[in-house]
Structure 1
Amino acid sequence: MPHWLSIGLFIYRVVAQTAFQSNDNDYIQYRTLPKHRIIKWNITYHDRSAVAPGYWFTAPYWSHGGDKSTNQWVPYQIGPHIFDQDGVLVWSGSAEFENLNVYDFRRIDLPDATGKLQPHLSWMRWHTPDDMLSPGLTAIYDNRYQPKKILTIPANVVDTHEFNVKYSPNVLQIQTRLETIKLNELGRPDDEWGVWSSGFTETNLLTGEQIFDWRSNNRVQLDESYVTLAEDEHPSGDYMHMNSVDKNDNGDYLISARHTSAIYLVSGKDGHIMWRLGGKRNNFKKDFDFYGQHNARFVAVNSTHMTLSLFNNGAIDTDVRETVSSALYVQLDLQKMKATLLQRFVRPDGGISDRRGNMQALPNGNALMGWSWDGYMTEFSNDGRLLLEARFASDRHDSYRSYKFPWIGRPTYPPTLLSETYGVNGSELSTVFHVSWNGATDIEHWRFYARNSSTSAKYVIGSVPKKGFETAFIAPGYMDWVSVEALDANLVVLGASPDARTTPPEYWAATAPLPRPDNPEALYEKTVTGLPQIHNQVRESVLFFFAGFVASAVFATVMIYRRFLARLIVMSFSKVISQGYVRVWTEDVEDLESRDDESRSWKEKE
């Protein structure tokens, strides 16, 4: 059977599998990640040349609390993921915690034994959906995707808003505690009610030493809240809802509380609130407003001024105050207690993010915003130009925050290689390869090998550029005991797969003997460069096909453009005449097609 027919069988199988699957065209399924469904992106670049370098870090989820366990199989599709700037998967960590929701997935840097900072990944997991009294946890992985620390968060204080390693190895984390208090501040001194008080800690990740512990009790009052109201018979217990904490070089802390719509500066010496920006007890004269904000960060600090960034939701889930969400840079004059808007980035699609979201100041001056709903993400230049819009193709998923970081992934596990043979008899077979390496970066090429037996020498049978997360390659013949190497741009080997056996043809005549693997030595030669040379029989077929293709292409081109070529020839000879040469072509170009067999007359130029 010709190679083209065996390849056709492979294409038919892939198309048939896709056609009879349920409608999940907002996901990608890879042969080498069969248990995963990877979310697709819709991406618009307005100026790609100006975007910051890096990879996208995001963690899709479909419900905040997650789904309880069932007996039904559910593909891995949520949790920590890294994508390149074309939306192509780099790493899926969905299987690390069995498809559970995670939050604040990002890169952090931690010191090694010599004190040098090394890149790591971190993310947080809330209670498991099956047990809302279970502890949470924080996972820290190295760039080889191996767990370095798994930190338990006690169930009574678990909060997954923030894992901020700004002054490594110290981490800032928010804690939430359920407490029963009198409602004195709401004018109801005889009533007791359960409320969630907010707080944060600073802890050394290497030693476990707690450096600072702050709680909102007796510092942030119930009547500062926009959701815990005196007139409600059963007021909301989530009166503050802290969602970010940051630290500056002076040792003071910046916290954001969504339900008081205020940003607070907390003294690193004694914990008192130094000032409030926004909310019912605002201390600044300001020329801007915000409401339900998230992700407040220090940008610059000196003795008289501060520059902050914040994500302005403009709403909470029960109350919308603004027409569109935005992200802000603001400057605080600490002497005049004046707050001035420096820059406002409006959500480009005009939508409202009534919960979640973040703003990340990038090293080149750009700003990345994660708008949460549908994973919507944008990047702006420092002069306010919209450079990029991206969102999940699925409206079933959201994200808590979105980040961009440089990243080099070097997995300890090998690449994943699948190989299958296609054909219906033994005369002509083809082997189809699929290869990927979950988490590896900097791969530019894949080099494929085959052996005649498990103990024989291996032969290079092909080398192809990496295309997307998963690369396909087709080789003539039934190749077995196959393997693959990942190469960088300089053809340096980054990693290799172990030998794998090839799956024999699925469709096979019942009366025909099963095929035996081909000897790659009979088809390919070893070369100094490591690139394969095909033996004469295959080489001649390829060259004959290529020559026929070239001849056909040339003939088709001449037929399509014959009138244009005739004009070009006449123009060329006109130039010859103008330069004083001795021959003139007297034929009218418009008559060329009808007079191909007539003789052409020439005359000597005077």
Structure 2
Amino acid sequence: MSRRGAALGALGRRAVGCAALLVTAGGLATASAAIATAARSRPSALWGLDVLPFPGTPDAAPATNIDFPALAPGRITAVRVMGSRSGLDAGRLRAQPAGNGTVFSPDRPFLAGEHVNVTALLRSPAAGTATGAPGARRLRFSFGVAQLAAPSNATAPSGAPPDVEAPSRRITHTFVSAPKLHPPVVRMSGAATDRAQGDIFLDVQNSGFPGAYILNRKGKLLYFHAARTSVFNTRLQIYRGRPVLTYWEGRVVPPGVGRGKDLIVNDHYQTTHTLTAGDGYQKRGTDLHEFTLGHRGHEGVGFVTIALPVTANLTSIGGPANGTVLDWIIQEIDIATNKVIWEWHALGHVPVDDSYATYVPGQAYDYFHLNSIQQLSNGRLIISARDAFAVYAIDEATGRIVWELGGKHSSFSMGPGASFEWQHDATLHNNGLLTVFDDDSPSVAGQSRGLELHIGIGSHRATVVHSYFHRPPVLALSQGSVEVLSDHNVFVGWGSSGHFSEFTPGGTQLFGGSFRGHVQSYRAYRFSGWTGRPLQPPALVVMKAGAAGHYYLYVSWNGATRVARWRVLGSTSETGRFVKVTSSVPWSGFETRISVKSATRPYFEVEGLDSQHHVLSHGTSAVVRGP
């Protein structure tokens, strides 16, 4: 039997457990056809899923639900759940949101470390069951319950961000009209000439003022969301046909993982949806490494990561039989209801001795470190596991690994220079190319790269198409991203080094930017199609400028992306008639200073104008009296 098909045992072997089922619109088919079916097309019955947790999962949450994603509530007559220690568990059946099948919610949590057997009775015979018996009216499967470990006392690993610097004018902006905002300063080398490729989206770490950050193509600040905690993975995505801003917000805890929530924000910068970890992980929260939107049928879903310390057998890597390991979990969440509809555990499919990370006694072993998820149209996911030096294709119908790129059991032979280490942000493209950020390129010592590979599914060979190196050289000890733009240029975020840059397809570096000090960004993107329309008006501060009747007006409008010019109006009183007191001035950045002489009209308001000189909605400031 192949190593990937071995039965569940010590976590040094591939954990598969009981056979899974493939449920399609035409009934039930055995698990042996799952991968082939998913590769041909996405089945209408929710990609052919049948039961969750996947049969053989070693560490489901004690408060987990039991899901039947392809079975309507009327198809199931009863569910019997028996814990090896807790005994018979009562619960209730209910419909999942948006037609996503049926869920059984136990009345009480399972006991840590126990084994759970599930039997579901069906109204009509199935073509197969979890035991493989044809024509039966029963589904039988089992899973293990996690023995949760105490939080690790480990410090952040080498390669993690250095201590946060105190706020300083050297590395952060200060604004008269927005005194509470201190976004980090970005130094640009050149500017993007391709306006159509859009603005630059970043998250900001290690400045003392974390937040979400949008720059225009020339590097001028458009928007800064100041957060009380950390913000990661700021990007534009599409939800229900409209562009939205998404990011993760929460606390970063050792060994560099997150405990927070994922937010969807509309063009008014209002939070419309908050996605939180579910099915027993609510208190743990979602991890910072990925939040990507996708679809299940016509409904929008979000894929999030969870990093969970559990007790496991680590003897295969020289650790104890009851050591602590981080299991990396993917949850697919229905956006409209914030309900979990799919879940995957790395420990159920990848053994701990597939890792290249060094085991340190007394610390939670971060063996996998999941840092990117991509949903494909054929029912598969592409994920990146940093500490395994591997990219995996997962079949959502069965949870099984279809292929592995890199790592200790690569399904592909790696051509010259094709190997990568400690990588981030793997993306498979329609033309058979895969991009990944190679943090510690083994081909060039001490230098990171954006890597573009050709994946030969038929030849089972991976070859380098191009490597993108920063000039001057940089080494990202963590984080990073690679994005192929619509004009085929390549935009690279250099992670912990605090740089971002754009390249031609041939590798010529066109422009770039960097933060000062030790400021960094987890990922960096360029997106077109974002129009920010804040509902709050522009902020205006009026200060005296020397002689009587001379003023400096400081105006900003956080998040407004369409402001081309500012027009200043003055009046003799707060409620009087306002008239233009000077020619309109061009928008010059996040904050524009306007010099005004108006001895008889000391009351001012400012209007934000678009490129056609029309006043933008909500674009008139409050009236401010000069000193």
For normalisation by structure 2, the TM-score amounts to: 0.67
TM-superposed CA distance for 1:365, in Å, is 0.8
**Are 2:572 and 1:452 equivalent residues in the alignment?**
yes
In the other structure, the counterpart of 2:440 is: 314
The change in CA–CA distance for 1:460 and 1:187 in structure 2 (over 3 A counts) is closer
Please state if 1:474 is matched with 2:601. no
Cα shift at 1:499: 4.1
Q: What is the correspondence of 1:61-460 to structure 2 with a 5 Å cutoff?
A: 61-62=205-206, 77-94=209-226, 97-98=227-228, 100-111=229-240, 117-127=241-251, 136-153=260-277, 154-156=282-284, 158-167=286-295, 169-186=300-317, 191-229=321-359, 233-234=361-362, 237-287=365-415, 288-300=418-430, 306-314=432-440, 322-392=445-515, 394-406=516-528, 407-423=530-546, 428-460=548-580
Q: Deviations over 1:432-466 (max 9, x none)?
A: 21111111112112111112223322211122222
Per the TM alignment, residue 129 of structure 1 is displaced from its structure 2 partner at its CA by 7.6
Q: Which residue of 1 aligns with 2:98?
A: none
Is the contact between residue 486 and residue 493 of structure 1 (CA under 8 Å) also seen in structure 2? yes
Q: 1:48 to 1:133 in 2, by over 3 A?
A: closer
Deviation at residue 375 of structure 1 after TM alignment: 2.0
Deviation track 1:495-521 (CA, whole Å, cap 9, x = no partner) reads: 4334423242xxxxxxxxxxxxxxxxx
Cα drift, residue 186 of structure 1: 3.1
Once the two structures are TM-superposed, the CA of residue 133 in structure 1 deviates from its matched residue by 12
- Structure 2 Cα separation of the partners of residues 355 and 128 of structure 1: 14
Shift, 1:37, TM fit = 2.2
Seen in structure 2, the aligned counterparts of structure 1 residues 389 and 453 have a Cα distance that, compared at 3 Å, is closer
The Cα shift of 1:415 comes to 0.7
- CA shift for structure 1 position 273: 1.0
1:523-563 Cα shifts (integer Å, max 9, x gaps): xxxxxxxxxxxxxxxxxxxxxxxxxxxxxxxxxxxxxxxxx
Q: How many residues align?
A: 447
Contact 2:236-2:245 within 8 A present in 1 as well: yes
Indicate the SS of the match to 2:353: helix
| Among candidates 28, 43, 46, match of residue 188 of structure 2 | 43
Are the equivalent residues in 2 in contact too, given 1:228–1:236 (CA < 8 A)? no
Deviation at 1:280, TM superposition (A): 1.3
The aligned runs of 1:510-521 (5 Å cut-off) are none
Instruction: Name the CA distance, whole Å, in 2 between partners of 1:275 and 1:422.
Output: 67
Q: Could you tell me how far apart the structure 2 residues matched to 1:56 and 1:499 are?
A: 30
In 2 relative to 1, CA 135–42 (structure 1 residues): closer, same or farther, beyond 3 Å?
A: closer
**1:28 and 2:154 matched:** no
Pick from 592, 609, 613: which aligns with 1:491? 613
Which one-letter code corresponds to 1:136 in the other structure?
A: G
Provide the C-alpha distance between the structure 2 equivalents of 1:191 and 1:364, rounded to a whole number of angstroms: 53
Q: CA deviation at 1:191?
A: 2.3
Q: Distance in 1 between matches of 2:590 and 2:420?
A: 41
Is this contact kept in 2: 1:480–1:500, CA < 8 A?
Answer: no
SS in 1 for 2:230: coil
Retained in 1: the 8 A contact 2:276–2:286? no
Q: 1:480/1:245 Cα in 2 relative to 1: closer, same or farther (>3 Å)?
A: same
Q: Which amino acid aligns with 1:36?
A: L
Does the C-alpha gap of structure 1 residues 422 and 289 become closer, same or farther in structure 2, counting only changes over 3 Å? closer
| SS of residue paired to 2:348 | coil
The code of the aligned residue for 1:177 comes to L
Offset at 1:78? Answer: 2.2
Separation in structure 2 between the aligned mates of residue 270 and residue 434 of structure 1, nearest angstrom: 59
For the residue of structure 1 that corresponds to 2:446, the secondary structure is: coil
- 8 Å CA contact 2:188–2:514 kept in 1: the answer is yes
| Partner in structure 1 of residue 203 of structure 2 | 59
Q: CA deviation at 1:134?
A: 10
Structure-to-structure mapping, 1:519-534, within 5 angstroms: none
In the other structure, the counterpart of 1:465 is 586
Specify the code of the residue in structure 2 equivalent to 1:439: G
SS of match in other structure, 1:165 = strand
Question: What SS does the aligned partner of 1:191 have?
Answer: coil
TM-score (norm 1): 0.69
Structure 1 residues 403, 23: CA separation in 2 closer, same or farther (over 3 Å shift)?
closer
Checking the alignment, whether the CA contact within 8 Å between 1:294 and 1:358 is kept in structure 2 is yes
In structure 2, give the amino acid aligned to 1:127: R
Could you tell me whether the CA contact under 8 Å between 1:481 and 1:499 is conserved in 2? no
Partner secondary structure for residue 219 of structure 2: coil
CA distance in 2 between counterparts of 1:501 and 1:274 reads 64
Cα shift at 1:139? 1.9
Evaluate the alpha carbon distance shift between residue 233 and residue 93 of structure 1 in structure 2; reply closer, same or farther with a 3 A threshold: closer
CA contact (8 A) 2:357 2:367 kept: yes
SS of the residue corresponding to residue 438 of structure 1 reads coil
Residues 455 and 243 of structure 1: CA distance in aligned 2, closer, same or farther (over 3 Å)? closer
Look up the equivalent residue of 2:562 and give its one-letter code.
Answer: D
Q: Distance in 1 between matches of 2:511 and 2:196?
A: 10
Letter matched to residue 247 of structure 1: Q
Q: Distance between the aligned counterparts of 1:81 and 1:408, measured in 2?
A: 14
Aligned-residue offset at 1:124: 0.6
Give 5+ residue unaligned stretches, structure 2.
Answer: 1-166
Q: 1:480 to 1:374 in 2, by over 3 A?
A: farther
Aligned equivalents of 1:48, 1:125: Cα separation in 2 = 29
* Distance in 2 separating the partners of 1:347 and 1:36: 30
CA contact (8 A) 1:421 1:502 kept: no
Aligned partners of 2:257 and 2:525: how far apart in 1? 30
- Larger helix percent: 1
Q: Distance in 1 between matches of 2:534 and 2:382?
A: 37
Instruction: Give the greater-gyration-radius structure (CA).
Output: 1
What SS does the corresponding residue of 1:240 show, helix, strand or coil?
coil
Q: Kindly tell me: are residues 128 and 349 of structure 1, through their superposed partners in 2, closer, same or farther at Cα, counting changes over 3 Å?
A: closer
Distance change >3 Å, CA 240–CA 490, structure 1 → 2:
same
Relative to 1, partners in 2 of residues 1:294 and 1:51: Cα closer, same or farther, differing over 3 Å?
A: farther
> For residues 569-584 of structure 1, what are the structure 2 equivalents within 5 Å?
none
SS of the aligned residue for 1:202 comes to: strand
Q: Which runs of 5+ in 1 are unaligned?
A: 1-21, 64-73, 112-116, 505-606
- Please give the alpha-carbon distance, in whole angstroms, between the structure 2 residues aligned to 1:101 and 1:330: 33
The 1:320–1:198 alpha-carbon spacing in structure 2 relative to 1, beyond 3 Å, is farther
Assess if the C-alpha contact under 8 Å between 2:545 and 2:551 holds in 1: yes
User: Contact 2:374 / 2:383 at 8 angstroms: preserved in 1?
Assistant: yes
